[in-house]
Amino acid sequence: MSHCAACSGARLQAQTVLRVDPESEYFECEASAMEGGSGWTESLEKDFDKAFVSLDLLLGEVDSDQVEITYEGRQKMTSLSACFAQMMHKCQFMMHTISKQEKEMITMRAEVVEARAARQSMEKEVEQLMIQVHSLQCQLHSKTAPHESDMIKKKLETQLTQFRSELTQGLSTVCELEIARKECDRSKRTIQALETEVFGARLAAKYLDKELAGRIQQIQLLGRNMRGVEHDRLWNQLEAEIHLHRHKTVIRACRGRGNTKGLTAPLRHNFKSLRKRNGVGKSRKVVLSKHPHEGLGISITGGSEHALPIVISEIQPGQPADRCGQVFVGDAILSVNGYDLRTVKHQEAVDILSGQVQQGDLDLELVFVCPDEDSDDDGTVTIEHSDGSIYNLYSMEEPTSSRSSNNSDESRST
């Protein structure tokens, strides 16, 4: 009974909202909103009533020994029905408010449209009035002083033509500069993309040539009647050389086109000493100190699935690896805090490094591999233009003079 009384009270409160001055301008809007929202509100009330009655019946089936439970349950149900009635009242009030605001917004939108249209109409009327005023002034001058009127007209036309030509010339120059600037930027991006593709193609071609040579040697080894330990030793040596060339190719790509000489290398790892060891340096221990909130500041590539070690491909400036000064692009990570990374896959290495970063300082075992610095890798690819100028493909320097002029200069100097 308390539920029905609360619901009926909510309905009476909602109806009193609609009885406010039926002659007001918002009465129709409120009535339409009430009609539109009455359907779902009645459906909600019916569902709530059914649930309330079912729950009341369940409480009535409780044993007489547990009267306190029934009494407390019905008190809670009374509070629940009162809350539901208040919620329905607030919902109807919000619906009425929204409908009022929508009507006000429609009215204000119409007023804004009318104001803009009136402003544009007045601007056009002002233009027409100014034209008429100028026309009347010209007619007045033609009647009082026709010669002066013609002179003024010719002078105005001459000045207008001159101003128009100067303005057109300046605007055309600005437009041409803008178009040329856009074409220049587009050409630069295209050239950079082409240089990257050419560098990658040359790098891939060199690697494929060396791997093909190694595979040919393996095929020749299979054609011989060699068995036993010597056969296995030569086969493993060729396979190791192929993997080493693959490793050097990856490092060359990581250290960038033409930038091998610009990037630093570990101390006591010059090209002459590394060439004796086939480009492979000695393993070294590095302690990488970092703050708790920092990462390592490196990017890695490689993995056992690619037949490559875990290689440092990038060092971010200002990060712990860069501040350390003992970690270099091209270093192969052999172990970290005792975890061996020689035979792990790429994702496993990422997981291990990520887990050890949380522990604090890291003990790294690294080995540096120097890429071959031959004519194919030093980045000095020259192109001779039709006018005789010589360009460096991977350099932003000015073109040098032609080869013929260089030869003539050399002959004069000798």
Based on the domain organization, do 243 and 337 belong to the same domain? yes
Is 66 within the bounds of a domain?
yes
Question: What beta strand segments (E) does 9-60 contain?
Answer: none
Is 197 within the bounds of a domain?
yes
What the block records as the tokens of 152 is 């003024």
Question: What mean pLDDT is predicted for residues 41-48?
Answer: 82
Give backbone dihedrals phi and psi of 264, rounded to 5 degrees, phi first.
-80, 160
- Contacts for 41 with CB less than 8 Å, ≥ 6 apart: 88, 91, 92
- Contacts for 195 with CB less than 8 Å, ≥ 6 apart: 257, 393, 394
Asked if residue 91 has pLDDT above 70, the reply is yes
| Contact assessment for residue 103 and residue 111, using Cβ atoms and an 8 Å cutoff | no
Model-wide pTM > 0.75: no
Element (H, E) at 334: strand 331-336
What the block records as the tokens of 372 is 């071959």
- Contacts for 361 with CB less than 8 Å, ≥ 6 apart: 287, 288, 289, 290
Residue 241, classed as helix, strand or coil, is helix
Give backbone dihedrals phi and psi of 60, rounded to 5 degrees, phi first.
-70, -20
- C-alpha distances in Å from residue 328, one per residue of 112, 259, 263, 283: 66, 13, 8, 13
- C-alpha distances in Å from residue 394, one per residue of 71, 192, 198, 263: 90, 9, 10, 16
Based on the domain organization, do 78 and 188 belong to the same domain? no
Is 128 within the bounds of a domain?
no
Based on the domain organization, do 237 and 355 belong to the same domain? yes
Q: Which of 190, 209, 225 is the last residue of a domain?
A: 225
- Position 27 scores a pLDDT of 42
Is 376 within the bounds of a domain?
no
Based on the domain organization, do 16 and 57 belong to the same domain? yes
Based on the domain organization, do 249 and 364 belong to the same domain? yes
Is 14 within the bounds of a domain?
yes
**DSSP notation for 64-118:** GGGHHHHHHHHHHHHHHHHHHHHHHHHHHHHHHHHHHHHHHHHHHHHHHHHHHHH
d(CA 180, CA 186): 10
Based on the domain organization, do 361 and 400 belong to the same domain? no
Mean pLDDT of the chain: 72
Based on the domain organization, do 102 and 28 belong to the same domain? yes
Expressed as residue numbers, the domain containing 85 is 2-119
Based on the domain organization, do 237 and 362 belong to the same domain? yes
What the block records as the tokens of 12 is 């009476």
The percent of residues in the chain predicted with pLDDT above 70, rounded, is 58
- What is the C-alpha end-to-end distance of the chain, expressed in Å? 121
Based on the domain organization, do 354 and 390 belong to the same domain? no
Is 161 within the bounds of a domain?
yes
249-260 per-position pLDDT tens digit: 666 666 554 444
Based on the domain organization, do 69 and 189 belong to the same domain? no
Is 139 within the bounds of a domain?
no
- Position 244 scores a pLDDT of 65
Is 136 within the bounds of a domain?
no
pLDDT, greater one: 65 or 32: 65
Asked if residue 411 has pLDDT above 60, the reply is no
The count of structural domains within the chain is 4
123-141 per-position pLDDT tens digit: 888 888 888 887 777 777 7
Based on the domain organization, do 221 and 237 belong to the same domain? no
Based on the domain organization, do 363 and 387 belong to the same domain? no
Residue 279 — very low, low, confident or very high, per pLDDT cuts 50/70/90?
A: low
